[in-house]
Structure 1
Amino acid sequence: MNQVHTNEAAAELRENYRKLIEEKPMRIRNAAAALGVSEGQLLASRVGENVIRLKSEAQAILEQMEPLGKVMALTRNEDCVNERKGVYKNYNFSKHGPMVVGTFVGADIDLRLFMNHWNFCFAVTDQVQDRTMRSLQFFDKSGTAVHKIYMTDESNLDEYEKLVERFTSDEQPCWIEVEAYDPPAAPPEDGEVDWQKFRAAWEAMRDTHDFFPLLRKYKVDRQQAFRNVGDDIAYPVSNDASKRLLEAARDKNCEIMVFVGNRGCIGIHTGPVQKLVERDGWYNVLDPDFNLHLKTTSIANTWVTRKPTEAGHVTAVEVFDAEGELIVTFFGKRKPGIPELELWREIVAELPREEVTA
């Protein structure tokens, strides 16, 4: 698509977006879906208005985050949003095969980053009622958001403006060319897998990070593994388990870990949950520095899993949508080498079991 056509397409998209939100105000992600484009494309169409295209140097941008002070880190997928306020500290980036993996490990901002999926970078200024919202937003090659960083009342806006100026791209196109991801390869039939050997490998794990390589080695997906490994270490529970465990964590003052991710980023909250609100098919944690928004109407399957580590087994509650995509994972608060909380195990043990179905 040449420059003239892209400018025309962007202008048409901007106008359609304006009409749409005048008729029915909605979030940009929902508006993009309604208009048949990616969120990244819709955001790019606003370049020159309240959006600035940044250089495609996401790692370098992230390495400059700490001077911005207290911000809000937003990581989401289609059905769950993790919003955590804090300071970006202790970054580390390293190469693992072809993938550049990054981490921020702090008491508040705790992230796992898969940088090969960070393609498009923007600085955005939005007017929401009487508030000016400034953010840095990052998208993968398909135009899907992988991470967003919002300024708060406690952020250093001078440092934010310096960072935006430093990374503003020389070119400011109002269109991005997106590329769809290939669908995942189909897993083998259950009967083609040596489940006895798979279980032995599961039991031999010494770290929860060994689990993904185990799935990859046997070319199976998560729920296929859970169905076949044995119900003493993986079993389904009621799909209201997320609500039940959050309420129990609140009532029993049990600190938990909440992992919400997409292909480019995993956002982690560690700590208590207090204010729980259910509204319009979403279950929400609305605490001062941590918000979680879980679309309960999208939950198709929920599993309890027990994975061995050198400090004893780790118990997780893993929540999936109808397509088998992982929505959110819950753990008890823990650190490597330290056994998990007995209180968390008690909470999980009280979740109603379901029958295993293919």
Structure 2
Amino acid sequence: MEQTIMAAEAAEQSLAARFEALQEQQPKMRIRQMADVLNVSEMELVRLRGGDALIPLQNRFGELLKALDDVGPVMILSRNNEVVHEVTGTFNDFTTGKSGAMGLAVGEIDVRVFFKHWAFGYRVKEQARSGLRESLQFFDQYGAAVHKIYRVADTLPDAWERVIREFADEQMEPFAPQGRRPVPERAKLDHVKAEVLREGWAELKDVHHFGALLKRAGTDRLTALEILRGEWATELQRSDDDVLDRLLALLRDSECPAMFFVGNPGIVQIFTGKVSNLRRTGPWMNVLDPGFNLHANTESIKSWWLVRRPSADGVITSVEAFNSDGELVLTVFGARKPGIPESELWREQAANLEATS
């Protein structure tokens, strides 16, 4: 046992030294990139912080998010490997289901949370280019970041500190690295119940029934679109610029409000509104608006699809991006409420995007 502890401490010291050297060599590199370079999880680097820079949090994450209703504005960040989604707003009535496995907030902060993928949480203080930043950071069992909540200038300091005191844990929970999260396998075409998929798709009444249809048909989302290519799904092609550049420019120029969904297995984060300040920086296409930032590495996005689903409110149109593993990384809908058809303005932008692909 003692030898195991000594080996773990030696490994941590070695990682700390490599981390420090990389920071000196690449001071502008973000911690997620550093974790990839060092072949460790992001959480392993976060746990190297000492003293007041790191406070472990109790695994009562639903209660913690509910407590944030009282802290005023915060900036929340959810991401996957390809897309980062940032919203500044106030939690309002975060709720969890009876089992506590799921939670949601609807309002300025709009999230759907799946707590079985939340394993560790920390209050983190870190030095950033803009100064000292304080955040709550949550990680899955593999040490990958699921969600982050940043204190901002207008966050109520006393309420924020009360949350930290209430949910701080006295001990650091041990972590045994398990490698990267396994990626779900794509469905094999000859195993998909194609007719079940086609018939079920044509009879859809609610976009929320889509997941159940995929299960019945024995397929993943991208394979379903490949099967339905034509009437219901169109693969969008890159031209002189990227699909996302064209879509965002169409939305900006038409002042068309849209809904941007970005997530990972532990959360889906949503922004609804218009976009205005667009900026391309190398492989990254960015929305840099007050209250909403989107950063998408379009070189890492393998395919884009325009998708149409029937519903009781008429056809619902979306633009969907997938990575090289076939995982959904970004979805854009026209802004709408349940029970209301999507806007003609959004359909016009979707048609314009399709016409340029």
TM-score (norm 1): 0.93
Structure 1, unaligned runs of 5 or more = none
State yes or no: 1:22 paired with 2:32: no
Match of 1:61 in 2: 64
> Hey, what's the Cα distance between the residues in 1 that align with 2:321 and 2:291?
23
* Residue 113 (structure 2) aligns with: 113
Separation (CA, whole Å) in 2 of partners of 1:346 and 1:280: 29
Instruction: Indicate conservation of the 8 Å contact 2:86/2:294, yes or no.
Output: yes
Q: Does 1:156 align with 2:142?
A: no
Corresponding residue number in structure 1 for 2:136: 136
- Paired residue for 1:103? 104
Contact conserved, 1:47 with 1:53, CA < 8 A, in 2?
Answer: no
Tell me the residue number matched to 1:176: 175
Q: C-alpha root-mean-square deviation of aligned residues, in Å? A: 1.9
Change (3 A) 1:183 1:237: closer
Aligned to 1:234: 233
Deviation at 1:55, TM superposition (A): 1.2
SS of residue in 1 equivalent to 2:136: strand
Q: Tell me by how many angstroms 1:230 deviates.
A: 4.3
Deviation at 1:147?
0.4
Residue 31 of structure 1 pairs with residue 34 of structure 2: yes
Native 8 Å contact 2:191 2:218 kept in 1: no
Aligned to 2:348: 346
SS of match in other structure, 1:334: coil
Residues 233-261 of structure 1 deviation map (CA, whole Å, 9 limit, x = unaligned): 11111242221111111101000000000
Q: 1:77–1:327: 8 Å Cα contact kept in structure 2?
A: yes
What corresponds to 1:200 in structure 2?
A: 199
How far apart, CA to CA, are the structure 1 residues paired with 2:279 and 2:120? 34
Match of 1:88 among 87, 91, 113: 91
Preserved contact between residue 262 and residue 329 of structure 2 (Cα < 8 Å)? yes
Distance 1:139 1:35, change over 3 A: same
What residue in structure 1 maps to residue 310 of structure 2?
A: 308
The alpha carbon displacement at 1:213 in A equals: 1.4
What letter matches 1:279 in structure 2?
A: T
Counterpart in 2 of 1:10?
12
Cα 1:350–1:186 shift into 2, 3 Å = closer
Where structure 2 has 5 or more consecutive residues not aligned to the other structure, the ranges are none
Query: How far apart in 2 are the matches of 1:291 and 1:234?
Result: 28
On the 8 A contact 1:14/1:46 being kept in 2, the answer is no
Matched residue type, 1:193: V
Q: Which residue of 1 aligns with 2:187?
A: 187
Identify the match of residue 271 of structure 1 among 267, 270, 273: 273
Whether contact under 8 Å (1:32, 1:38) holds in the other structure is: yes
Give the CA deviation at 1:186.
4.5
C-alpha separation in 2, matches of 1:242 and 1:94:
35
Per-residue CA distance 1:195-231 (angstroms, 9 max, x = gap): 2231111121111111111112222111211111241
Q: Helix, strand or coil: the match of 1:303?
A: strand
User: Aligned residue for 1:214?
Assistant: 213
Bigger shift: residues 121-130 or 25-34: 121-130
Change (3 A) 1:349 1:130: closer
What is the count of residue pairs matched by the alignment?
A: 350
Are 1:71 and 2:79 counterparts?
no
Of 346-355 and 155-164, more deviation after overlay is shown by 346-355
State the Cα deviation string for residues 101-147 of structure 1 (Å, max 9, x = none).
Answer: 111101x2100111110000000011224522110000000111110
Over 3 Å counting, the alpha-carbon distance change for 1:112 and 1:315 in structure 2 is: same
Task: Check conservation: 2:69, 2:94, Cα contact below 8 A.
Answer: no
CA contact (8 A) 2:133 2:150 kept: yes
Are the structure 2 counterparts of residues 169 and 47 from structure 1 closer, same or farther at C-alpha, using a change threshold of 3 Å?
Answer: farther
Distance of 1:129 and 1:252 partners within structure 2: 35
CA contact (8 A) 1:44 1:53 kept: no
Q: Contact 1:215/1:221 (CA < 8 Å) preserved in 2?
A: yes
Task: Give the deviation of 1:353 after TM superposition.
Answer: 6.0
Shift in alpha-carbon separation, 1:215–1:95, aligned structure 2, 3 A? farther
Q: For residues 183 and 256 of structure 1, do their structure 2 counterparts lie closer, same or farther at Cα, with a shift above 3 Å needed?
A: closer
TM-score of the superposed pair, with normalisation by structure 2: 0.93
Secondary structure of the corresponding residue to residue 251 of structure 2: helix
What residue identity is the alignment partner of 1:125?
A: K
TM-aligned CA distance change 1:159 to 1:195, over 3 Å: same
Q: What is the distance in 1 between the residues matched to 2:106 and 2:353? A: 31
Name 2:260's counterpart in structure 1: 258
Counterpart Cα distance in 2 of 1:11 and 1:49: 19
Q: Distance in 1 between matches of 2:67 and 2:93?
A: 11
Identity across matched positions, percent: 37
